[in-house]
Amino acid sequence: DSGVTQTPKHLITATGQRVTLRCSPRSGDLSVYWYQQSLDQGLQFLIQYYNGEERAKGNILERFSAQQFPDLHSELNLSSLELGDSALYFCASSWGSSNQPQHFGDGTRLSIL
């Protein structure tokens, strides 16, 4: 058990809809990372937050947004969903903002119909 909790585990929705994925980091960890794993692109970095502030941005679409709350949990919001957004979305956490081992959640599997 990594100590990182992601909910929900599975999500099925339709094109054009909006969903929110939630992540609770391991106790004591200040950084939260979001990654997307799709069949064609593999694992890709989306965004990092450190202690409530955005620290790094990767290949995150404008339709996607994230935030980290004062209690350090994070949410990833995906809107105007397209078929190609179907993927596994992982959250990871670490104590520091860089050069730290990352602890991964079990992922949220998003299926767009």
Long-range contacts of 53-56 (CB under 8 A, 24+ apart): 55/31, 55/97
Min dist CB 16 to other proteins, Å, is: 26
- Please tell me the distance from the alpha carbon of residue 67 to that of residue 77, in angstroms, as a whole number: 9
Q: Which of 13, 56, 75, 79 binds other proteins (CB under 8 A)?
A: 56
Find the binder of other proteins among 58, 69, 80, 111 (CB under 8 A).
58
> Is the torsion defined by CA of 105, 26, 13, 37 positive or negative?
negative
Alpha carbon distance 65, 79 (integer Å): 9
- Nearer CB in complex with other proteins: 61/88: 88
**99 is a contact residue toward other proteins (CB under 8 A):** yes
CA distances from 13 to 9, 52, 86, 100 (A): 13, 29, 10, 35
Under rule CB under 8 A, residue 11 binds other proteins: no
Q: Is 55 in the site for other proteins (CB under 8 A)?
A: yes
- Contact footprint for other proteins (CB under 8 A): 2, 31, 33, 35, 42-45, 48, 50, 55-56, 58, 88, 90, 92, 94, 96-104, 106-107, 109
